[in-house]
A and B are shown apart, each in its own frame.
Chain A
C-alpha cells in the first residue's frame, strides 16, 4: 500500500472542497471495500478524505411517504430501521443478505453503491483487466467466469456488481443525491451505473469529485409486499451468484403493480422492465411469471460456464413471485 494523506471532513461542502479535483484522492466511508482494494494494490490513492462523520446518518420519511436515506447511514442501521422494514422489507432483506454483521456495521449506503466488482481478475493486479487497466484485456471471457455477467456485458468486461442493497434500491426506483463543487445533483439509480460497452473502467455517471449525500426512495405501496432472495455458494457471508428483489401487488388474481430487479447478473443491478411490462395487468400465475422471466432473459448472452444463471434467474423469478402471489391470496 502506498502511503497517503488523511483528512477528516466535518460537513458536506468541506468534504467536497477537500477532495477537490484531485484524481488521486478518494472519499473514505466505512472502508470495507476501499481499504481492501488499497491492500491489494487495486486502489492507490494519494489522499483520503474521511466522510464517516458527515451529518448524513439519518433516515427520514419524506412528505410523499417515501424515505430519504443519508449516505453515511450504515448498512446495519438501514436494515434495522422500522420504516425500512415496514415500507420496503426487501431492502432490509437485501442488506441483511450481504456481507457479515461486522461489515454491515461499518459499510455505508454511499460506499455500498460504489462497491467495485468482486471479479477475481480485477482484484489481482498481476493479471490483466480492462476495468482496472483499460485496454489490458479481459481474461474472464476465456477463463474463470462462472459468477460473471449474463446480461448487458461486453467482450471487454463481464464483471458483475456485487451489491445486494443496490438491487433492492433499483427495484424501488431509488434516486441518488450528490454534491459537487458546482452544487447538488441527482441521478436515478437506474441511470447511475454506466453501460459497460468498451469503457468498463467508467462505472458511474457521478461527476468527478462528487460526494454521494443520500438516496431517496419514492413512495411505493407495492414495496410493502416485497422480498429479496439471494443464492450463493455458501449459506451466508458470500456474494450472490444470483439474486432477486421483487415486489408485487395482486388483486383478484391480477397483477396490479410489480417491481423486479436482478442481482449478480450484470455490471449493475438489472431492472427487469420487460418482465414488469408483461406481468402488469395479467394473471398472477406461474405460467405468466415464467413467460415474463423468459422475455427478460431473452437478452442474456451467457458464456460457457455461466449458462446456469439464466435458468437460476428464471427459477428465482417464478419462485419468488409465486410466494408473493400466495401471500396476496391469503
Chain B
C-alpha cells in the first residue's frame, strides 16, 4: 500500500539497475523492503534485517552495501544495482557463472548477496584497497595478491549457513582471474 506523501512519507524516485522507479515511501521503509515489497525485486534477500548477515547486499553507487540498513528515502539520487542487474542480459556475469559451475551455494538464499558482494569486492581489490589480513597496508607495499585468505576476509560480511564457503571462495577466485585476464 502506497502511503500518501506526508511528514512521515515522501514521494521519491529510486534508480535501480539503470531504471527509474517513482514511488511513495513511508520513511521507515528500508531500501530492502522497498525492493522486495514494493518493486517486486525480490532477488535481494532479507536474512537478518540488522546488517549482520549480508544477504541483502546490493551496490550503491557501485559500492557494496546492506540494503536493510539503508532507508529508501535516503537512497534517492543514488545508483542502485541489485542481483537482477548483475548479468549482461542473458549472459551471466563471470561471478554468477562461477557460482553456478563450482556449486558456490546450496539453499541459494545468501547467494545474491554473496554475488553482489563478490562483484564489488573484486573491484575494491583492483583499486588497491588493503584488507584486515593484508600484511603491510602501507601504499608502498603495493596491492596484496588476491589469495584465498584475502578473499575469505573480504567476503566475511556475507554469512552462508549452508556452509558453501569453500566453493564460494573458489568461484570468486575463478571470476577474479577472468576479470584480470580481461584487463590484461
Direct contact of A and B (CB under 8 A): yes
Q: Does A117 contact B (CB under 8 A)?
A: no
Q: Which residues of B contact A92 (CB under 8 A)?
A: 130, 137
Contact check, B50 vs A4: say whether CB atoms are below 8 A apart: no
CA separation between A4 and B10, bound complex, in Å? 11
Contact check, A31 vs B138: say whether CB atoms are below 8 A apart: no
Q: Number of A residues contacting the other chain (C-beta, 8 Å)?
A: 39
Q: Which residues of B contact A85 (CB under 8 A)?
A: 130, 137-139
> Known interface pairs A96-B130, A103-B66. Does A3 touch B26 (Cβ–Cβ under 8 Å)?
yes
Measured CB to CB, the closest approach of chain A to B55, in angstroms, equals: 11
Q: Number of B residues contacting the other chain (C-beta, 8 Å)?
A: 46
Q: Which residues of B contact A86 (CB under 8 A)?
A: 138-140
Question: Interface readout for B33-75 with A: 1 if CB under 8 Å, 0 if not?
Answer: 0000000000000000111001001001001111001110110
Measured CB to CB, the closest approach of chain A to B145, in angstroms, equals: 17
Contact check, B30 vs A35: say whether CB atoms are below 8 A apart: yes
Contact check, A36 vs B50: say whether CB atoms are below 8 A apart: yes
Q: Which residues of B contact A298 (CB under 8 A)?
A: none
Which chain A residues in 25-47 approach chain B with CB under 8 Å? 28, 30-32, 35-36, 39-40
Contact check, B74 vs A236: say whether CB atoms are below 8 A apart: no
Partner of A28, one of B74, B124, B128, B131: B74
Residue positions of A touching B, CB distance < 8 A: 1, 3-6, 8, 28, 30-32, 35-36, 39-40, 48, 50, 52, 76, 79-80, 82, 85-86, 89, 92-93, 96-97, 99-103, 105-106, 230, 235-237
Residue positions of B touching A, CB distance < 8 A: 7-10, 26-28, 30, 49-51, 54, 57, 60, 63-66, 69-71, 73-74, 117, 120-121, 124, 127-132, 134, 137-140, 152-159
> What are the 3 closest A-B residue pairs judged by CB atoms, nearest first?
A100-B157, A236-B156, A3-B8
